[in-house]
Every structure is written in C-alpha cells, then in structure tokens.
C-alpha cells in the first residue's frame, strides 16, 4: 500500500494545475490582474493540499494521530459500528493544517461505511451523528480501532483511498478531508489516551494513545 509522496496530495493536483496553467495563459496575453489572482490561488491550493513526509514512531503498543490539528475532545462515546461506548479522541483540522489522514496503527481494514449527511460545524457534538462522515473499522494485533472522518462547514468532501481487507502500516495514508474538519479515533479497551485537550498533533507522527500497562 505504501506509495512515494510527491509532497502534494494527488487530489489537489487538478486545482493546482488548472490555476497555474490559467495563470500562464493570462500572463501571455498580458492580463496581469487575473494572472496575480491565479498565482495566489495556485499558492493557496499548493498549501492546502501539501502532503509532507512524517517520521513514524516504531515503538510497540502505541497509536499515532490520524490527523493534523488540535485535540478538541477526549470522551467516552458509542463507536459507529457496534454502538459500544469507547474512549474517543477527536482531532479538529482547520483550513491551514495538512488535510491528509493516516492510520494510527498497523492494521487490516475490516469495514468501511460512508454516511451522507449535513455539514454542521465539526466541533459540535451533533456533527458526529448528523454530518457527512466515513467510518473505518481496523483490526490490529492490539485490538480493534475505529476511525471516523467527519466533514464540516467548509470541508464538504471526504476522500477514502483504501478498500476493505487492505493492510496498512502505522502512519500510512488512508484518505483526506479537503480543507480540513475532524477525525475521531475510538480506542480499544486496552489503550488509553496520552494527549490533552488543546494539544497540537501531527498525523502519523504524534503518539496520542498507548497500550495500558497491567
């Protein structure tokens, strides 16, 4: 599953190429105001769709953040596949965070479910139930984790890059939410959070949970 990165998410290439090509055309005909606008649009598109490499931790018994952003909630909530209550860590991505999402642990994807829905502010509790979202159930050697990509007011396009039965290593890319929003990570019973609300995290790099020591 692992693919070399070009530093940009492939989903952003159409935007970047369209803006840059249009800027070139307008510059050739001497339309400088539009050229400037399109160059700025090219820069913003490149920034929004950047996909930097990450140094993925190799220790056993840890889970890394599935998204860049800020931890906004750590609470017990019913996970979407079974409805059983689990500890859930919510990471909110703003417009300026990297939007590419990564798997927290080495695992096999056992189920993917897409839910069409609304586009409430992703920081609200009702977003978990009513917003457009995509849920992933993944099986690791330490148990079952559940990841949920949640669309929001601005981010209204969820991208899933994987299929059921795919096997991914910790830190591999599994999708993105264009222009940010929120990712929830539901932990298995034998894992506990090691981050705090308000803490900034990086996808595939920041350790946000670890296996409990009994």
Which residues participate in catalysis according to the annotation?
181
Rounded alpha-carbon distances, angstroms, from residue 25 to 13, 17, 29, 45: 18, 12, 7, 18
Tell me how long the chain is: 214
Structure tokens at 140: 């690791």
Q: How far apart are CA 91 and CA 78, in angstroms?
A: 17
- Per-residue H/E/C for 100-134: EEECCCCEEEEEEEEECCECCCCCCCCHHHHECEE
32 phi and psi, to 5 degrees?
A: -70, -35
């Amino acid at each position: 599953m692992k693919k070399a990165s070009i530093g940009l998410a492939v989903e952003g290439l159409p935007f970047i190429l369209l803006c840059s090509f249009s800027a070139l055309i307008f510059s050739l005909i001497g339309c400088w105001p539009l050229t400037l606008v399109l160059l700025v649009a090219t820069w913003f598109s490149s920034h929004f769709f950047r996909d930097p490499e990450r140094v993925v931790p190799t220790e056993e018994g840890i889970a890394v953040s599935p998204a860049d952003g800020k931890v906004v909630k750590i609470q017990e909530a019913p996970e979407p596949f079974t409805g059983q209550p689990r500890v859930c860590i919510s990471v909110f991505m703003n417009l300026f965070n990297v939007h590419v999402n990564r798997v927290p642990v080495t695992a096999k994807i056992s189920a993917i479910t897409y839910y069409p829905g609304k586009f409430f502010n992703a920081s609200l509790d009702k977003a978990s139930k009513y917003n457009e979202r995509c849920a992933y159930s993944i099986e690791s050697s330490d148990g079952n984790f559940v990841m949920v990509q949640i669309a929001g007011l601005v981010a209204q396009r969820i991208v899933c890059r994987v299929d059921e039965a795919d096997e991914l290593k910790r830190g591999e890319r599994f999708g993105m939410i264009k222009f940010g929003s929120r990712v929830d990570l539901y932990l298995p019973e034998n894992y506990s959070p090691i981050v705090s609300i308000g803490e900034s995290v990086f996808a595939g790099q920041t350790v946000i949970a670890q296996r409990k020591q009994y």
